[in-house]
Structure 1
Amino acid sequence: MPEEIVLPAPADFHVHVRQGKMCELVTPQVAKGGVRTAYVMPNLVPPLTSTDAVMAYKSELERLDSSVQWLMTLYLHPDVTPEEIRKAAKAGISGVKSYPRGVTTNSNSGIEDYGVYYPVFKAMEEEGMVLNLHGEVPSDPEKNISILNAEVHFLSHLKKLAHDFPNLRIVLEHATTSNAVETVLSLPANVACSITAHHLYLTIDEVAPQPHHFCKPLAKEPKDRKALQEVIKSGNPKFFLGSDSAPHPLSSKTPNLTDDGHSVSACAAGVYTSPILIPLVATLLESFGALDKLQKFVSDNGRNFYKVPAEQGRELKLRRTSREEGSGIVKGTVKGEDGIEVLPFWTGKKLEWEIVN
């Protein structure tokens, strides 16, 4: 059993760092969790639908923490035209994120029909940009579609896009089901898949009683978690880390009475893992016998797919936490100005690995 591990520049290919005071609080936490390269989501308010807006956001992130390589994305929207794609590619923007309308945080501007964006996808294919898909469809009681099976119903869209654009790199984001794993494995090499840390631990049984475990897509059954674990254990190059670390104020994760005193606010969807990400992933992979695949999952596979090589001198060293009481225990809330508090995943639990500074 190793006591130390050295990883080539870990990368997180799906992270939310928000905006305003929340952004100031959580942006430095990305590097604290061991990440050297971060692929940033564009679902701000308003969404990032222009190259100029994305590059302004990138400048703000670099101001807050220049030690991280920030990879940026556009939000798929009618404003994103083939001409905007070519402008974005020239500016160094890496990809475009697709959100089905209304399925998750800040997705009210999301899409309803992939067909109308085929000229955009063609331009992306030509420019070498990546299409990132939030892999759910909206709930529909008439069709018996809910958050429990929304991912499975989405997979037909993934198959069609992969068929129609064989040279477009496509990522199914934050997979949660055995069906998704099987589908990605069945498709050509231009289709890959990100997996979060929290979905390697949670099932629906852990989500139901705990609002801090609620996220979109929802964690599913034990067989689904097992499929995610097994495909990582296999070392398959199509699968890599995309944390979907999604901070929300503590008040938004704990349902409370609204200001009128008569109704209960909805629980925000998101699990926050950035401050502990790479030690958490190491802990989880070791728990199901896949520690020897840690480098593939957090460094090699994603970087190879996105064509973002690891920089020399950006390695991360991990060591085992000690057996002393309190060692490796994840502390409570991350606090910022104006009373903002965010509760990390795994709070109160012990990590088996820590970063060597």
Structure 2
Amino acid sequence: MSISINSPADFHVHLRQGAISELIVPHVSKGGFDVAYVMPNLKPPVTSTEQALRYKADLERIDPNVTYLMTLYLCPELTADEIRKANKAGVYGVKSYPRGVTTNSDGGIESYEAYYPIFEAMQEVDMVLNLHGEVPSDANTNIHVLNAEPSFLPHLFKIHEAFPALRIVLEHATTRAAVEAVKKCGPTVACSITAHHLALIVDDWAGQSWNFCKPVAKYPDDRRALQDIVREGHPRFFLGSDSAPHPPHAKSTSSPTHACAAGVYTSPILLPLVAHLLESFGALDKLEGFTSVNGRSFYKYPVEGQRYSRTVFLRKTKPGTLVDAKYALGAESLVPFWAGKEIGWEIFDGTAD
């Protein structure tokens, strides 16, 4: 059995910087994708048009076969003029990180109202606002990793009400509450869903550091809500992998001063993994919509008149086909999500079945 998918696009991926990028960036294409919506939480974060264009050039040097859609990091230094400049330069969005909720978010925001002039400019030029939908943990208000996403949703409603024409993506949803919130908001609000959140629940990361990510996977009913909305084929829900590489020593160990790194790495197996998961809950016929059509439509990419640039072919694997245990390049190495587990699909060149 084989299927083909027109030009899959990953609308949320971390490609890092420095030596590790040499290993990571080619895995976008290896995993079946030729469009990558690139996150800006580097050190230092990408806060200007010039930084975004330099970063894009470096990614293109590593693998010119992928189209990199760049984003800026929402921060106090960002201005409305910079938004207009970035838009003219082809930057697609601005990513908001609440302070301290995930990797490299120490410079994240604490109050959204302070950024209303930025949101106004973004609405004016039709630039996308990407929201990491959590609030920081706070013992005094009983906020923690399991309810951080539902606690964020009032912020989504408030921003959407203030800027109804602003395109907003609630990133990597993990809860039924988030799914229902996005549906309620209407056509200018969409949602990305990761492959790993279609697979995991709380029990899969509690005590298993390789499955630990932010936002954390939630309850079985939450996972069911994500699977159901994919199975429905809702046009405002699409793949954003949040593939987030961390070296093995940062994932497998923790100490009182160094917690386990939050993130799972799916890029090199992404399309086969999504096919495997969608097949498992009866949604394989929605694969192209979820991985290509829905996200491209919301992001208005490609622009009118352009065509898809790649067709990716998938076929069923032989029984016992396992995901590689590790990927390495020089001194850098990464352990992927699903390492050592059986996977039901693989990419092939389409010339033979």
TM-score, normalised with respect to structure 1: 0.95
Q: Secondary structure of 1:45's match?
A: coil
Pairing 1:47-196 to 2, within 5 Å after superposition: 47-196=45-194
Residue type of the alignment partner of 2:161: H
Number of aligned residues: 346
Contact in 2 for aligned 1:14/1:38 (Cα 8 Å): yes
- 2:262 is the alignment partner of 1:269: yes
Contact in 2 for aligned 1:250/1:340 (Cα 8 Å): no
| CA–CA separation in structure 2 for the residues paired with 1:8 and 1:256 | 41
| CA–CA separation in structure 2 for the residues paired with 1:322 and 1:333 | 21
| CA–CA separation in structure 1 for the residues paired with 2:56 and 2:77 | 19
Q: Secondary structure of 1:154's match?
A: helix
Q: Secondary structure of 2:3's match?
A: strand
- 2:334 is the alignment partner of 1:342: yes
| CA–CA separation in structure 1 for the residues paired with 2:208 and 2:332 | 20
- 2:5 is the alignment partner of 1:7: yes
CA deviation string 1:78-130 (max 9, x = no partner) = 11100000110010000000000011000001001100110100100111110
Contact in 2 for aligned 1:247/1:342 (Cα 8 Å): yes
| 1:209 alignment counterpart | 207
Q: Secondary structure of 2:43's match?
A: coil
| CA–CA separation in structure 1 for the residues paired with 2:63 and 2:216 | 31
| CA–CA separation in structure 1 for the residues paired with 2:102 and 2:220 | 23
Q: Secondary structure of 1:7's match?
A: strand
| 1:260 alignment counterpart | none
Contact in 2 for aligned 1:285/1:291 (Cα 8 Å): yes
| CA–CA separation in structure 2 for the residues paired with 1:283 and 1:311 | 27
- 2:38 is the alignment partner of 1:46: no
Q: Secondary structure of 2:25's match?
A: helix
Contact in 2 for aligned 1:9/1:311 (Cα 8 Å): no
Contact in 2 for aligned 1:216/1:270 (Cα 8 Å): yes
User: Alpha-carbon deviation of 1:264?
Assistant: 6.0
Q: Secondary structure of 1:132's match?
A: strand
| 1:351 alignment counterpart | 343
Residue type of the alignment partner of 1:194: S
CA deviation string 1:157-188 (max 9, x = no partner) = 00111111111100000000000001111111
| CA–CA separation in structure 2 for the residues paired with 1:118 and 1:256 | 39
| 1:293 alignment counterpart | 286
Residue type of the alignment partner of 1:43: N
CA deviation string 1:266-325 (max 9, x = no partner) = 1000010000000000000000000011111001000000000373441111111123xx
User: Alpha-carbon deviation of 1:209?
Assistant: 2.1
| CA–CA separation in structure 2 for the residues paired with 1:349 and 1:311 | 36
Contact in 2 for aligned 1:255/1:264 (Cα 8 Å): no
User: Alpha-carbon deviation of 1:190?
Assistant: 0.2
Q: Secondary structure of 1:44's match?
A: coil
User: Alpha-carbon deviation of 1:345?
Assistant: 0.3
User: Alpha-carbon deviation of 1:256?
Assistant: 4.9
Contact in 2 for aligned 1:4/1:317 (Cα 8 Å): yes
| 2:298 alignment counterpart | 305
| CA–CA separation in structure 2 for the residues paired with 1:311 and 1:201 | 32
| 2:272 alignment counterpart | 279
CA deviation string 1:223-254 (max 9, x = no partner) = 00000000000000010000000000101001
Q: Secondary structure of 1:341's match?
A: strand
Residue type of the alignment partner of 2:167: R
| CA–CA separation in structure 2 for the residues paired with 1:207 and 1:254 | 12
| 2:227 alignment counterpart | 229
Given candidates 300, 311, 324, the residue that maps to 1:331 is 324
- 2:24 is the alignment partner of 1:26: yes
| CA–CA separation in structure 2 for the residues paired with 1:250 and 1:345 | 12
Q: Secondary structure of 1:124's match?
A: helix
Residue type of the alignment partner of 1:207: W
User: Alpha-carbon deviation of 1:24?
Assistant: 1.1
Contact in 2 for aligned 1:203/1:225 (Cα 8 Å): yes
Residue type of the alignment partner of 1:144: N
Q: Secondary structure of 1:38's match?
A: strand
Residue type of the alignment partner of 1:316: V
| CA–CA separation in structure 2 for the residues paired with 1:31 and 1:140 | 40
* 1:215–1:351 CA distance, 2 compared to 1 (3 A): same
| CA–CA separation in structure 2 for the residues paired with 1:72 and 1:181 | 26
| CA–CA separation in structure 2 for the residues paired with 1:247 and 1:311 | 31
Contact in 2 for aligned 1:137/1:150 (Cα 8 Å): yes
| 1:322 alignment counterpart | 318
Identity of counterpart residues, as a percentage? 60
